[in-house]
């Protein structure tokens, strides 16, 4: 079913197995990669409904209009989102749908950030077809899959704290996420007001709400928290 236009709405669904997955959404701004991946999925899993989106915003619009897919494959670097932001945004809309992060970059810190943000797995774009299909099948059956040789750098308590922080970022509204992104870019309230075409008083109200949700006292602390989970940065 379509998702309500309110971006805070989530779609809850029963977790499927790999054999029950029928509809996939690929979010990647490279047409050749999208086409190759879509063809591989259609052949390997017998899928008829493989949808694509070239940006995070397009993916969100598609989910709102067409409803939740059975699984999502998400590129790390998109025109309007980098790093864990895509996972955080889609996880808010799709709490029960497996989201796979795919990238040529398999930096351990980035893998860890994606997994903490709620990814079901993280795979390399350089995987061969058999390894790719096997990884996706395992993820769609409920397993968390990471690149071979990957070892989490954080202790269990730190990892849980990072996952909790990612959930707090996921509680931000789309407008609040935009404002936080601009704060991380060093923009002042007046600049944010101009860029988003909203009153400066409204910006201040949103910032107060952001600080409360992520438990930060100052803008610098908010930036540090966002950077700690690689919210807007892929590197």
Q: 123 and 65, same structural domain? A: yes
Q: What is the pLDDT of residue 180?
A: 93
Whether residue 98 is contained in a domain is answered as: yes
Query: Which domain, by its residues, includes 192?
Result: 172-228
Overall domain count for the chain: 2
DSSP calls for the chain: -PPPSSTT-----PPPPGGG--EEEEE-S-HHHHHHHHHHHHHHH--SEEEEESSHHHHHHHHHHH---SEEEEESEETTEETTHHHHHHHHH-TTS-EEEEES---HHHHHHHHHTT-SEEEETT--HHHHHHHHHHHHTT--B--TT----S-HHHHHHHHHHHHHHHTS-HHHHHHHHHHHTT--HHHHHHHHT--HHHHHHHHHHHHHHHT-SSHHHHHHHHHHTTSS---
- Residue 198, domain CATH: 1.10.10.10
- Residue 60, domain CATH: 3.40.50.2300
Output the average pLDDT for the chain.
85
Q: What is the pLDDT of residue 47?
A: 86
Specify the pTM.
Answer: 0.73
Q: 106 and 33, same structural domain? A: yes
pLDDT in tens, 2-51: 544 344 445 445 567 777 888 999 999 998 888 889 999 999 888 888 99
Work out the pLDDT band at 234, boundaries 50, 70, 90. Answer: low
Q: 209 and 106, same structural domain? A: no
Whether residue 44 is contained in a domain is answered as: yes
Q: 72 and 183, same structural domain? A: no
Q: 201 and 130, same structural domain? A: no
Q: What is the pLDDT of residue 31?
A: 87
Q: 182 and 134, same structural domain? A: no
Q: 54 and 94, same structural domain? A: yes
Whether residue 3 is contained in a domain is answered as: no
């Amino acid at each position: 079913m379509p998702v309500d236009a309110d971006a805070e709405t989530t779609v809850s669904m029963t977790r499927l197995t790999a054999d029950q997955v029928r509809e996939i959404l690929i979010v990647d701004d490279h047409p050749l990669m999208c086409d190759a991946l879509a063809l591989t999925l259609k052949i390997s899993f017998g899928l008829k409904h493989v949808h694509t989106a070239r940006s995070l915003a397009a993916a969100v619009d598609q989910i709102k209009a067409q409803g939740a897919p059975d699984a999502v494959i998400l590129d790390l670097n998109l025109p309007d989102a980098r790093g864990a932001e895509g996972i955080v945004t889609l996880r808010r809309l799709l709490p029960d749908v497996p989201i796979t992060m795919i990238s040529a970059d398999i930096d351990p810190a980035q893998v860890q950030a994606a997994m903490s943000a709620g990814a079901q797995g993280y795979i390399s774009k350089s995987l061969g077809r058999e390894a790719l299909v096997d990884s996706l099948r395992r993820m769609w059956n409920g397993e968390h899959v990471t690149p071979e040789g990957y070892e989490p750098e954080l202790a269990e308590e730190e990892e849980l704290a990072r996952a909790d922080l990612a959930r707090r970022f996921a509680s931000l509204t789309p407008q609040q996420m935009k404002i936080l992104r601009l704060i991380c870019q060093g923009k002042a309230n007046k600049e944010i007001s101009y860029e988003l075409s909203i009153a400066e008083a409204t910006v201040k109200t949103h910032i107060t709400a952001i600080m409360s949700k992520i438990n930060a006292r100052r803008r610098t602390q908010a930036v540090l928290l966002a950077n700690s989970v690689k919210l807007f940065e892929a590197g």
